[in-house]
Structure 1
Amino acid sequence: MKLLAFMMQTGGHIAGWRHQRAADNALCDIDYFRRLGQVAERGLFDGVFLADYVGYHPVQGADIFAGMETPKLDPLAVLSTIAAATSHLGLIGTASTTYSHPYDLARRFASLDHLSRGRAGWNIVTSTMENEAHNYGRDAHLGHSERYACADEFVGVARRLWDSWQSGAVLADKASGHYTDPSRISAVNHAGDHFRIAGPLTVPRPPQGHPVLVQAGASATGQRFAAANAEVIFTSHPTIETAKAFRAAMHAQLAEFGRAPASLKVMPAITPIIGKTREAAQVLQRELDGLIPTRIAVSKLEALLGNIDLSGHDPDGPLPPLPDAALAGQNSTRDRVLELSGRQGLSIRALARQVAAGRTSHTVVGTAQDVAQTLIDWELQGAADGFVISPPFLPAGLEDFVDQVVPILQQRGHFRTAYEGVTLRENLGLAVPDNFYETHPEARARPEVF
């Protein structure tokens, strides 16, 4: 199986930062991120996964904002520091196609791929929060379908930019005085609905051809986008049944694009809460959940349901009917929350605490043996190609997984005992993409700069 470590602040649990084993005020500390990378590499993880946003969800009051772990550094800057402290670990960072530009982002990821010798990955998001729009000079966030149309064009032109330097373009021949072969560098000359880009990129083609493309949207549109573009899909499922159905649906959509199932790794999020005994793990779970203030839990639920206001409803009663406006946000996440509410018949208060604790995905509470067995069962039953491990607190939770769960997976033949390759693609078992301009020589164009 494949494994990614989710570096979600100082813990995947919303109150994980308050736990005594979580790092203290570490989100701007270079040593914290280096340590996480080194722990993940010691555990032979395929890569680390860094989430990001460029704004904030609205919350009802400063006291709620004050209780949340909110700082976020630029993911590519963080991943560059991890690259320098590791040698095999993949480096996957989130960047928005709505609030970035293809040329700039293609250049930054190509640079990271070169400097890490082929370990970069891009988690493609379209962004979801209104505050992000306001931070980039827009009055409102783009609609769901428009964001994905923009993302499709964005990724397409980024691929062309990475391909604008063909093999053999760099000569660095001191004797002849030729540093490049201009005939192997092509303009892009893209003119689309959202972007106009001449090219070529100022960075030669990345070692992996393209950084590994990752996607996390699970709405119908997001799944379609992933089937066309992604090589890893980060997903979230409360049960093995929903995970199996999702993976089967993704394989069916891949076929429509002429892609093989092996070209997309389906990786659900798993939160392991590990104890020496099952009882000890349950005590730890209750301890973590007890650290969540109710006001923050309800605020999280309101955001995931589309920024609705639940303040006028009985917290011990059921969810009220949701207005249509709630459909405009994170549709797939909203659907998972509603499914959880209906399946368990939860009150607003109980649902909020479950959602805030991260249990719209799958939390495994038990011994290291229990966690390992769950991962093996999901893999063998076709629910996953691997997992995004989201420890409840960091770095200790990741250390627990590496020291206790990984050896069991290795002993049972379900996880590597050494890295297979140097690049992230090699370790994930993904092919290097063809260079478009080498397979379509008729599309080559002389850049305007020479």
Structure 2
Amino acid sequence: MHKTPLLDQLESGPYPSFVTDLKRLLPTKPQVNDLLGQLERSYKEKITHWKHGGIVGVLGYGSGIIGRYSDLPNEFPGLEHFHTMRINQPSGWFYTSAAIRELCDIWDQYGSGVLNMHGATGDIVFLGTRTEELEPCFQALARKGFDIGGSGSAMRSPSCCVGPARCEWSCYDTLEACYDITQEYQFELHRPSFPYKFKFKFSGCPNDCVASVARADCSVIGVWKDDIRIDQSAVKAYAGGELKPRGGGSPYAKLDIQADVVELCPTGCMSFDGSTLKIDNRNCNHCMHCINLMPQALRPGTETGATLLIGSHAPILEGAQMSWVIVPFMEMEPPYDNLKEIAGNIMEWWAENGKNRERVGELILRLGMRNFLEALGLPPVPQSIKIPRANPFFFWKDADFEAEAAGKKYYTTK
């Protein structure tokens, strides 16, 4: 066994250590000994000893496998090949215990036994196997109903929050939508043909529990169009301390509705006179703050659907980019033709105009939101505005003058 004094220190703290977990595999997985040895070497030298990628995969698929090779194969022969497999997760990460045992048995047979539940994209991540084991492992997974996830310049595995399965705030069925989109885009998922990666993420409400607004090229976030439902008797119970904030998940025994709810409303659309809470719903931006604090008094409206956003990513040069709203509200019912039509148009425009390794959000930054909306045939909406303009000029096109001459009104108070 390799000596690992630096890694051993990670076992001395009060919390469970991945080093301890890896050492448990040593009796049956000798390659893990080399994994610990190389990691110790990397900690000591402060550089990684993994080579950059490599072309490797399974028959018929161009994605789902990430090539991993050690640059010290003579010193650590167990890491000569140590490829990563992404396995497409079920919607909402719901498993039976039998399914988890099947996954673990397959990986024990064909890989290192090291796995991650789950990767940042949402996939099950199998860490470490040899090239010759990829195809039999994939076939064993397929026989149990599991498929390879997305990687490379392809659609990545769509993921979603737990949705209506366990959350009362969900404004649409995220589980069904995620599954439907996954089935619809099997070719794009498994055979890379995009300029770069493309991610769908589905959140059932504006709490956005899968952080789609920061991580997904296409975010589908549940929302409602009508008024927030208010139970005034429950509001009084919160004010009197009979009901605890956040459903009891708060260290505070009593809610100060004026200070904690009304004054923290980002749009200032609420008022409270000591007994009655009022909401100017036309100015509500659906942040969920008040609903989260008083879940027994406030609920989303009943006219539900989703907001569609585009373009979040975290490039190194420009820094993190949050999504833009492109469709403030759309109905979310199977077969989701409205979403698929817009998504198809986005992919087509991106494929025609995107540079290699350019995310769709970066392309919009380069060519402008106006060009993007015109290409998709989407009207500009106030919800798309992120920040006020920094200059006073508006550049008109010939088509604008022609439309104005034909009677189009660019501003109306109605």
* Shorter-chain TM-score tier: under 0.3
TM normalised by structure 2 equals 0.25
Q: Which has the higher helix share?
A: 1
Name which structure has the greater RCO, CA cutoff 8 Å, separation 6+.
1
